[in-house]
Amino acid sequence: MRSYITPSQVAASSEFARATLKTIAKARAFVFPAALLMVCWDFSVEPVMAQSFATPVNYGSALFPESVAVGDFNNDGKADLVTANFSGNSVSVLLNNGDGTFAAKVDYATGMHPFSVAVGDFNNDGKPDLAVTNRGSGTVSVFLNNGGGTFAAKVDYATGGAPQGFAVGDFNLDGKPDLAVANFNDSTVSVLINNGSGTFATKVDYPTGGFPNSVAVGDFNLDGRPDLVVVNNAEKLPTKVLRFARLFVSSIRC
């Protein structure tokens, strides 16, 4: 359907639509100066609507999903989902059907109250694996990918008390992804170094501020070594967080 929008109709539209139409009008004015008074618009192609999202579609997980991550678990080029289910004591894996829909969940048992889930190839076989913090168990569960989108049973590694957020990074620069876990109850972050086969060494703890609940990785001082930044629920000053990140660099290199 072809329609015509007058300047008054343009003024009544949203701010984004006005900006978009203004850009189009300018472009057309460059080629066809006479088109300045009336913008010809083909509503079968609507750049304004292309910036919005369709109605959500819900998929079932186990009880109280706390976090979600994305990875191509069956290596078909289509992004799949995994959720950590706090009350279900499980992760749910939902494989992508290829058309934007997902197959029914497949659950894998975790420890108690899984909180955060992340994806990494921990055994370096080209298949993305899973790691999950278990807030109620004081552990992180690692699930190695069997291929085909299924996972082996979990292997647990001890963390500090009430592990919540965690991050994946290569902290010792050996090409194998390691884990850094924020321990909410202990005011520490646990670093677990990958042994290379998808198993992890015993944790090494570093002090944080009070009640750390999330951790991320970045090279903040540009020395090529990954640093950590932790947000602490009990403290409000971001400068303290960054100072800790610098301390971590010197500690991990000792």
Nearer to Ca ion, 61 or 194 (CB): 194
Q: Please give the residues from 173 up to 212 whose contact with Ca ion meets the rule CB under 5 A.
A: 174, 176, 178, 194
Is position 105 an interface residue for Ca ion (rule: CB under 5 A)?
A: no
Give the rounded distance of the alpha carbon of 63 from its chain centre: 20
Cα–Cα distance measured from residue 118 to residue 58, given in angstroms and rounded to the nearest whole number: 21
Residue from 20, 61, 74, 89 in contact with Ca ion (CB under 5 A): 74
CA–CA distance, 66 with 242 (Å, rounded to integer)? 27
In the list 127, 135, 154, 203, the residue contacting Ca ion (rule: CB under 5 A) is 127
How would you label 58-77 residue by residue, b for 16+ Cβ within 10 Å and e otherwise? eeebbeebbbebebbbbeee
State the minimum distance, in angstroms, from the CB of residue 144 to Ca ion. Answer: 6
| CA separation for the pair 206, 165 (Å, rounded) | 15
93 touches Ca ion (CB under 5 A) = no
The correct pick among 170, 225, 233, 242 for binding Ca ion (CB under 5 A) is: 170
- Cβ closest to Ca ion, residue 105 vs residue 135: 105
State the nearest-atom distance from the C-beta of 248 to Ca ion, in Å: 15
Closest CA to 215 of 190, 197, 186: 190
Q: What secondary structure letter does DSSP report for 10? A: H
**Closer to Ca ion by Cβ: residue 174 or 219:** 174
- How far from the centroid of its chain's Cα atoms is residue 1's Cα? 41
With contacts defined by CB under 5 A, how many residues of the chain interact with Ca ion? 18
Question: Binding residue for Ca ion (CB under 5 A) from 46, 125, 219, 223?
Answer: 125
125 vs 219 by CB, closer to Ca ion: 125
Is 142 a residue that touches Ca ion (CB under 5 A)?
no
Q: How far is C-alpha 239 from the geometric centre of its chain's CA atoms?
A: 24
Question: Per CB under 5 A, does 123 bind Ca ion?
Answer: yes
Q: Minimum Å distance from CB 146 to Ca ion?
A: 9
Which spans in the chain are helix H? 7-12, 15-31, 238-252
Report if residue 223 touches Ca ion, rule: CB under 5 A: no
11: helix, strand or coil: helix
Question: DSSP code of 102?
Answer: B
Where do contacts with Ca ion occur on this chain (CB under 5 A)?
A: 72, 74, 76, 78, 80, 96, 121, 123, 125, 127, 129, 145, 170, 172, 174, 176, 178, 194
